Amino acid sequence: MQKKQEKTGLIWFRNDLRTKDNCALVSAIKANDQVVGLYCYDPRHFDINEFGHKKTAVFRAQFLIETVTDLKEQLLKLNIPLLIYNKTPETVIPKLVREYNISNIHFQKEWTPEENIVLDNIKQNLPRNIHFFSEYDQFLYHPKDSHLTCDAIPNVFTQFRKHVEKRSIVQQERQPLEIINQEATFENNTKNITLDSLGFSKFERHINSAFPFKGGETEALNRLNYYLFESKKIGFYKKTRNGLIGPDFSSKFSPWLANGSLSPRTVYWQVKKFEDSEYKNQSTYWLIFELIWRDYFKYISLKYGSNIFKLTGILNKKYSWKTDQLLINRWINGQTDEPFVNANMLELKQTGWMSNRGRQNVASYFSKTLNLDWRIGASYFESLLIDYDVHSN
């Protein structure tokens, strides 16, 4: 009897850097006999962009390195190796497909332009018999459960929130299957990337940072457990969330949510568990409320596509934007006429973090008081913020 040909699947990790509640991981284990993981530190993510900013500065780079290191450890518990490269996915994936005889590629579905270009380039360099499996996995309310077409997505958050709260459901978390039995031996000669290899000299976490945490799924789940069940800080979230300095004013979940080392569904169901076992109040609801805000920005980017990056914005409004480099530098370096703006900008420059209230104020000052091209400010946020998220930025 002819031996059945085994299927080998590749999990291409991007902004879903976790093993808990990960659709691509569950899909890969179900569909394949053997599974190998991949993460690429895409060199383009560390280049200088058109506005003169490094797309990813040292704070998020360090957080990412910690996250991928932890992901590798968690995947090994499932007997899945994680291959790590400091190269573009277009270069690496076709090579791996040939080397490991990969037939299926599993990944989280993205829709913003840069990600789409990369995927198109990969597909052009692969045989047609390679199967691609992707699914939206970064939402609280999955698009197929939202009962909204793209055109029908409201432009007002409150309308969106009321709709999804009334008509949508939050799916249960996806749990990985039992440890996969890898009959083939995958030689993993790749090593974890260092800051030095990404072009950074050193990193020291600021002693007074309001975000003193490390990257990775393990740290994310520890923080979630601490904030909800150990300290019960969630019970005061609505009152304290706009505090400026300190780890516990707000949940601080956003960096882990941004790179996908924590799932919004995991947060949701843990809050529900807290409400069942402890108590329910405005603060427990408000944490979910903020997750819905996060979803809303993703839905808006689904609706408007690349328009969210255009100078005129999604409403196609024309303003007289300036590009005065002196004013831009004063804003960046905390040397404006506004002490509150300065304090927040210095915090960002030295820690990679800024409170929600701070962000709203410095962004408003940049665009509405100084009348500077908002895309330049957005570029600086993208570079510095540990929790940068393309849809919310």
Q: What are the structural domains, with CATH classification, of the chain?
A: 8-137 (3.40.50.620), 138-171+212-306 (1.25.40.80), 310-384 (1.10.579.10)
According to DSSP, the β-strands at 82-85 and 104-108 are unpaired
CB 262 within 8 A of CB 256: yes
Within its chain, how far is the Cα of 62 from the centroid? 14
CA dist., res. 250 & res. 243, Å (int): 7
pLDDT digits (tens, 9 = 90+) for 211-263: 999 999 999 999 999 999 999 999 999 999 988 888 999 999 999 999 999 99
CA dist., res. 383 & res. 393, Å (int): 11
CA dist., res. 321 & res. 324, Å (int): 10
Say what the pTM is.
0.96
CB 47 within 8 A of CB 197: no
CA dist., res. 163 & res. 154, Å (int): 9
Output 99 or 245, whichever has higher pLDDT: 99
pLDDT of residue 30: 92
Q: Which of 39-53, 80-94, 180-194 has the lowest mean pLDDT?
A: 180-194
Q: Within 13 Å of residue 42, how many CA atoms lie on the same side as its CB?
A: 16
Residue 184 pLDDT > 70, yes or no? no
Kindly report the number of other CB atoms within 10 A of residue 282's CB atom: 11
Coil, helix or strand at residue 58 = helix
Tell me, what DSSP letter sits at residue 107? Answer: E
Tell me, what DSSP letter sits at residue 176? Answer: P
State the virtual CA torsion across 150, 151, 156, 161 in degrees, nearest 10: -40
